[in-house]
Structure 1
Amino acid sequence: MDLRLARIARQVPALLAQEAAYGHAFLFVPVLIGAGAITWFSLPQDPAFWPLLVAFLIFSGVAMVVRHGTGSLRLLPCGLALFVGGMLLADTETRRLDTTILDTPVTTNVTGVVERRESDAQGRWRYIVRLQKTTKPELSRAPQRVSLLARGRHDPAALGDTIAGRVRISPPSGPALPGLNDFAFSSYFDGVGAVGFFYGAPELLPQQADSAQAWDSIESRLFDLRSTIGDRIRATVAGDAGAFAAAIVTDERRAISQETTEALRLAGLAHIIAISGLNMALAAGIFFVGVRTVLSLFPGFAQTYSIKKIAAFGALVMVTAYYMISGFGVSAERAYIMMAVILVAVLFDRQSLSLRNVALSALIIIAISPSEILGPSFQMSFAATAALIAGYEAWQRRRITPEAGPQKTSHRMVTSVSKAGRFVAGIIMTSLIGSVSTAMFSVEHFHRIATYGLAANLAAMPLISFIVMPAGLVAMLFMPFGLDAPFLKLMAMGLEGVIEIARYVAAWGGDVGVGRQHAWFLGLAGLGFVLLTLLRTRLRLIGLPFIAVALFLSWQAGRLSQPDILVSEDGTTVALLGPDGVATNRNRVPGFIYDQWRRALLLGDPVKPDMLPRGAEPTKRDGRFIELTGPEIEAARAGMREAPGNRFLCTSRAWCAARSGKGALIVAVEDGRYAGVACDVADIVIAPRARFDNCRSGALMFNGDILRKTGALEIALNNTADMEAWRIHTAMVGKDRGWNRHRHYNWRGRSFDTILPEPLQQIISDSGG
């Protein structure tokens, strides 16, 4: 064994030299920069900028000095410089955007300019509004932009219009559980600091002078054109098919019904909705082949000029126009850059489909928007593209052998069948490679795998490739002349077929939940995938152990004990996990929260609480709280003590109580007047409207201010009623970044405060307890 290891170690320098000869060292440049950006975004606090800059300059200087040296170690300072450079890019993007996120939900009057708009399947409009002012109350930390849903009937406001109205706005949602997706992160880098809705219809105000920059004006015109095209498509073709067609062309997805969206997701076809690499590649490829075919009909012209380059330039112009009307979405931006790099390579007589071009595209995107590397869209798109190109190159190397001689001529029928067989095999392999290469990201981000995605893609991709995209491309070319309707209807016919396939496959029930993964799962699996994909020699096999360890950690994560209590970040939804299922304090559990809990912890349907009657007495009179009477206090105290095991007993709009298997009493308080009563009898009190932070009885108190700092909670009682043995995992404790700093803001004192009550600090695992 020692001799074998020594022999392998002696071969490593030669294999590294061989990889360098292939030029694969460049492929790891975006990997190292991206790793630096991921590290920066994952830190609990902002690292200091100047030490990073000094380290970058030192490593860069050393790399320049040793660049002509021999040995693999000369690459180390270069790798470190790229890693630190990725951290600096992430720091720069965060400082450049500096989005202000609303600190707490509030009802106020807003006035602002409509920057974007999009309708949904119910005909409601979602506006992205750049705020100009807020009143009643005036916000001390008003966000720059808010996303507002207008549910009242009104004439849609155009882009650039000034609108006003009474709104309810809230900060973007944080993680539903520790370790899950933080929606505030993506909202921060989208520049949106709050989400909410109008009370009634928004009021359209007279046009006001706006200090928008020239680019903002151009962007507004492009969004207006995008909205016009989307409206025209939906007006020409009704229903989900028209909304689907508009989504493929303009990336406006809200108009597709929830049922169809869910069917596409369950069938593994949701990637078609977004303007991604598939859509952009099909559009460019169809245009490129079409122009080249037409020009080849003129032999004199084809012999004089390079029709291949003319077609590539035309395709580049076309995909640029496609990107301009797509709304500048993340997936569209990434697909456009990748396709532009490929087409420019054709113009300069370079190999178009290569891993170098994929690496260059990734490098450009990471340099522009480092935050995108944390998104599933970026990860899945580049993983699928890199895997497909690596697989294609490996297949080409296998086909090109020294013994290969000239192909024998076969009968036309045999040739046709052979081509059809290769086409079907190509679709199968493409779908298989794409599914396998993106599976780890689906498992990490969505906690599920669409097991029948291969079958759905095999059935749907011919419709997309030969009907939907060609018809859509021709429709866009003819739309300025008013001749687009027949082609849009043909496009819709193809999409109706895709929707039927999605519904049929979704009915098979192939959506398999795998639950929340180990913290190291994606990092190890991603490292193994990168080594397998980007390396060409036997060194690529080093990636297999990393993938094996990641799979072991995934298996181990599924065997870990589950928490006993789950608490949403606003404290309004509480779940008690017991042997009989999941009991909740709500008759109607918010789907947005519970769906994430269900996928992460593989939970079943929630058990509704038992309800006690309660009168409809008001809680306030003349703006003041009405104090509880003695009988009301005693009745509540007695009711809480009688809480059943592993099930909530609730009084409507007042309180809910449940007892764990080991006797710990949990009380969730909706009416803040009952918080004191709950403290008297309970072990854990969740009272978002309580006006105090500690229970004199020693019970654990989670009020609204505390929950804002902690985020969602997982409480493990560890099979005991002894509070000192409990452990609490939080989503936010210890984190102080631009996208979650709003949680620490106290609008009364206009200051930031991260301190938690002492009893909580002792048992919150995230704080060292």
Structure 2
Amino acid sequence: MPAAFSAVFAAVEAFLEHERAQVPPWFTAAFGAGIAAWLWIPDRSGWSAAILLGLGLAAVGAAIGTRRIGGALQFGGLAFAAGCTLIWWRSEHVAAPRLDRPRVAAFEARVDRYEMRAAKGDVRLTLVTATQGLPRLVRISVPDEDVAIGLGIGARIRVRARLQPPPPMALPGSHDFARDLWFQGIGAVGRAIGPVEVIEPSPGGGLDALRERLGRHIRGQLRDRAGGIATALATGDQSAVGDEDAEAMRRSGLAHLLSVSGLHIAAVISAAMLLTLKLLALSERLALRFNLVLVAAGAGALAGLGYTLLTGMQVPTVRACIAALLVLGGIALGRDAISLRLVAVGALAVLLIRPEALAGASFQMSFAAVTSIIALHHWEPVRKMFGPRDESRFSRILRGAVGLLLTGLVVELALIPFALHHFHRAGLYGVAANLIAIPLTTFVVMPLEALALILDPLGLSAPIWTATGWSIDAMLVLAHRVGEAEGAVAMLPTMPSWAFALMIGGGLWLTLWSGPVRRWGLLPFAMGALGAAMAPVPDILITGDGRHLALIRDDGVPVLLRSRTGDFVRDLMSEASAYDGDPLSLEEQGFARCSRDACVADIVRHGTVWRLLATRGRDRIDWAELTKACADADIVVADRRLPRGCSPRWLKLDRQSLEKNGGVVVFLDGSPRVSTVAERVARHPWRS
């Protein structure tokens, strides 16, 4: 046994020595794993155990000594413990009072953030209040018609608003808005009632004001749909993009074009470098006396920083900017800086500042895309296939097109698990769409828009704006055609956390190692993909307030208890049930009997009939009638408090129960069970 152990130890040591250049990115992965562990583990005792586990691994590594295994365990354990500790500390550091119940309040406040949402016809304000009984930070929406002159960042206002606590996760596995607002320090959200009174107007100025003015100017030049897309490309503000266009971009796999990230940063920096280099090279004296490539790199760095600040420093933008600055640093030093270490440094920089970003789709998808691209082009067969060589122009163009198609395919495959996990859907035709849309955006739309903005002061921009609008319209036509094609979208219900973790781990193993051992990453990835594919479709979905319920038919179509529901709830129910379409109404189904007060439905699953009783009216129901109906039902759901005499055969979900458990998902398979939001959120500080 000792001999076998020594052989394994020596083999691992030799492997780490051979892969020593690939080891550093794993420390960033370990740091992120510590953050993920804190988000997944339910309570303080578990968080403490995770930190102690990391420190224990580090102690084992220190005991082993200076060998590769010892160093990997030591630094990996410390990174894991540091990640878990950092996110725990930050969750406590940003803790702020939250509203405990809905209320209508009139108060004075200072505008901290001003976001125009042109597509929704309102403005979203983040306010700093000083009113007793209200949280310090409040976010409200104000209809456009109630926006007063002088309203902006820094303005002091008086407003009356309907406020409520931060909305919790609506269903198990859906997006956790309460977590987002917790880390932003926002303690209440709501909507203004009536006009906003400006006590002291906004002083103006600042990047937010510049971003807002630029967005207004662009939408003034390009009206309707094109203006929203152009605003998103220039300022990163997607609020002016219409719902239909945004949905088409998501379904076609082009939504990443609206989020300012690597593609946009690269385009801006490349354009700045090219212009600087060409203009300075016109002077023979400058060309002979200075390193113009270095000067152009500096100009590109300034352009990238300015664009990042202008677009609001979102996670993918910051990541792309950091990566670009490292690349430019490599150019200045005469080295190739494009590597997985570059990605790891960028990810670590973001996580050190905002560790909670790890849970967001933006962080995960942007880094997954870049990592997959770099890993692909560092793979030896690909390097040989697309490396520089003497050939005809046609062959070079053909190889470039093949390389672009292959890169797009790899990126789409890398993003599918994240899209299915966060949005329950993934575009299947994104490779073909991106093959057209990426060059169109990079080489046509963005240069035309930049040129139009430059020519605006001279009054010569009208034809350029027209051409910009045409090119954006072409991109939208592509998005809608692809998104509406049959089979364009794959849908999946909420996948198990372990399946998603296995796919992430397998993907990291595939991309971060360089030798044949990387193939072993296919095994956990395949296991995770199988687990995700086998995720069961729920039978009943209930929101935490008990007002909205969806029953999933045998053919997968969700039917709603209340036919008059907003788009958010309808989309929520469709996504959670893995249905690509609009839900139907329960009262129209043959297996249901509905009145103004309630619906009774008989659900047949695996030869068993389950009777569901769900209330939907506001009027008082006769006690005797209600208790009799409860006794005849297996499941009772109500948005009111039900009497003790209401005793269904299996499950009772009334206001009291739902306030404790939050949204509920019911499975009526061989072993009936429920999953709740309370189980998901556990003891994390943003729980309701």
Per the normalisation by structure 1, the TM-score is 0.80
What amino acid does structure 1 have at the position aligned with 2:592? R
Are the structure 2 counterparts of residues 8 and 78 from structure 1 closer, same or farther at C-alpha, using a change threshold of 3 Å? closer
Q: Which residue of 2 aligns with 1:500?
A: 477
1:180 corresponds to: 174
Q: Structure 1: state its 5+ residue gaps.
A: 209-216, 612-643, 720-724, 744-769
User: Does 479-488 or 417-426 show the bigger shift?
Assistant: 479-488
**How far apart, CA to CA, are the structure 1 residues paired with 2:73 and 2:147?**
61
Give the SS at the match of 1:520.
Answer: helix
Q: What's the CA shift for 1:416?
A: 2.2
Distance in 2, matches of 1:675 and 1:101, equals 37
1:449 paired residue number: 426
Distance 1:53 1:717 in 2: 38
Distance 1:659 1:55, change over 3 A: closer
Counterpart check, 1:602 vs 2:596: no
Report whether the alignment pairs 1:708 with 2:653.
no
Once residues 348 and 426 of structure 1 are traced to their aligned partners in structure 2, the CA distance between those partners, rounded to angstroms, is: 28
User: Which one-letter code corresponds to 1:15 in the other structure?
Assistant: F
Cα distance between partner residues in 2 of 1:234 and 1:400: 44
Q: What is the 5 A alignment of 1:465-614?
A: 465-475=442-452, 487-509=464-486, 510-557=488-535, 560=536, 562-579=537-554, 582-603=558-579, 605-610=582-587
Partner SS, residue 614 of structure 2: strand
Check whether the contact 2:232–2:238 (CA below 8 A) recurs between aligned residues. yes
* Structure 1 contact 531–543 (Cα < 8 Å) conserved: yes
Q: Is the 8 A contact 2:561 2:616 kept in 1?
A: no
Alpha-carbon spacing, 1:5–1:279, altered in 2? closer, same or farther (3 Å): farther
The answer to whether the 8 A contact 2:13-2:67 is kept is no
Which residue of structure 2 lines up, in the alignment, with residue 755 of structure 1? none
- Decide whether the 8 Å contact of 2:16 with 2:68 is kept in 1: no
Distance 1:5 1:394, change over 3 A: farther
The CA deviation at 1:303 is 3.2
- Relative to structure 1, is the Cα distance of residues 264 and 739 closer, same or farther in structure 2, using a 3 angstrom cutoff? farther
In structure 2, how many angstroms separate the alpha carbons of the residues matched to 1:383 and 1:482? 43
Q: What amino acid sits opposite 1:24 in the alignment?
A: Q
Q: Write out per-residue CA displacement over residues 23-51 of structure 1, whole angstroms, 9 at most, x where no aligned residue.
A: 21111111000000011112222458888
Q: Which runs of 5+ in 2 are unaligned?
A: none
**Alignment identity in percent?**
27
Give the Å deviation of 1:355: 1.3
Report the CA distance between 1:400 and its aligned residue.
Answer: 9.6
1:197-212, aligned counterparts within 5 Å? 197-206=191-200
Q: Deviations over 1:254-294 (max 9, x none)?
A: 11211211111111111111111111111112222232233
Check the 8 A contact 1:521/1:553 in 2, yes or no.
yes
Q: Does the Cα contact within 8 Å between 1:152 and 1:200 map onto a contact in 2?
A: no
Distance 1:533 1:341, change over 3 A: same
The residue correspondences of 1:609-758 to structure 2 (distance < 5 A) are: 609-610=586-587, 646-651=591-596, 654-661=597-604, 662=609, 664-671=611-618, 673-674=620-621, 676=623, 677-682=625-630, 683=633, 684-690=635-641, 695-699=644-648, 701-717=652-668, 727-733=673-679, 735-737=681-683, 740-741=686-687, 743=688
* Structure 1 equivalent of residue 137 of structure 2: 144
CA distance in 1, matches of 2:339, 2:538: 47
1:434 correspondence with 2:411:
yes
Change (3 A) 1:62 1:178: same
CA 1:400 to 1:428, structure 2 compared with 1: closer, same or farther past 3 Å? Answer: closer
Which structure 2 residues correspond to residues 156-555 of structure 1 after superposition, within 5 A?
157-206=151-200, 221-395=206-380, 398-399=383-384, 415-475=392-452, 487-509=464-486, 510-555=488-533
The one-letter amino acid paired with 2:169 is: P
Aligned to 2:615, the other structure's residue is in SS state strand
Measured against aligned partners, the alpha-carbon deviations of 1:551-596 in whole angstroms (never above 9, x if no partner) come to 2212322xx3x44432111111122334475442212233322323
**Counterpart pick for 2:26 among 25, 28, 35:** 28
- The question of whether the paired residues in 2 share the 8 Å contact of 1:52 and 1:88 is answered with no
Q: Tell me which structure has the larger Cα radius of gyration.
A: 1
Structure 1 letter corresponding to 2:444: I
SS of the equivalent of 1:350 reads coil
1:375 and 1:675 mapped to 2: Cα distance? Answer: 47
Distance 1:569 1:168 in 2: 20
Matches of 1:26 and 1:143 in 2, distance apart? 41
TM-score (norm 2): 0.88
1:479-533 CA-partner distances (Å, limit 9, x unpaired): 6777666554443332222112112222313122133223222211111111111
Q: What is the deviation of 1:669?
A: 4.2
Secondary structure in 2 matching 1:468:
helix
Relative to structure 1, is the Cα distance of residues 494 and 675 closer, same or farther in structure 2, using a 3 angstrom cutoff? Answer: farther
Worse-superposed segment, 533-542 or 694-703: 694-703
2:17 — aligned with what? 17
Secondary structure, aligned partner of 2:23: helix
Give me the whole-angstrom Cα distance separating, in 1, the residues matched to 2:578 and 2:212: 40
1:746 is matched with: none
Q: Deviations over 1:657-684 (max 9, x none)?
A: 4344425341324326338453442144
Give the Cα separation in 2 of the matches to 1:400 and 1:254.
Answer: 42
Q: Is the 8 A contact 1:667 1:678 kept in 2?
A: no
Equivalent residue letter for 1:370: P
Structure 1 letter corresponding to 2:416: A
Deviation string, structure 1 residues 365-407 (Cα, Å, up to 9, x no partner)? 1111111111111111111111111212225874399xx9x96
Distance in 1, Cα, partners of 2:62 & 2:456? 54
1:187 Cα shift? 2.3
* Partner secondary structure for residue 169 of structure 1: strand
Matched positions, count: 671
Q: Structure 2: which amino acid aligns with 1:302?
A: A
Aligned pair in 2 of structure 1 residues 315, 398: CA closer, same or farther (>3 Å)? Answer: closer
Contact 1:472/1:488 (<8 A) preserved: yes
SS in 1 for 2:212: helix
CA distance in 1, matches of 2:278, 2:64: 51
Q: Deviations over 1:448-469 (max 9, x none)?
A: 2211111111111221121122
1:70 equivalent in alignment to 2:67: yes
Q: How far apart are 1:478 and its partner, in Å?
A: 5.7
Distance 1:351 1:255, change over 3 A: same
2:39 to 33, 38, 41: 41
- Structure 1 residues 50 and 480: alpha-carbon distance in aligned structure 2, compared to 1, 3 A threshold: farther
Structure 1 distance, partners of 2:509, 2:679, is: 35
Contact 1:106 1:168 (8 Å CA) reproduced: yes
Distance 2:63 2:372 in 1: 35
State the partner residue of 1:619. Answer: none
Q: Are the counterparts in 2 of residues 568 and 574 from structure 1 also a CA contact under 8 Å?
A: yes
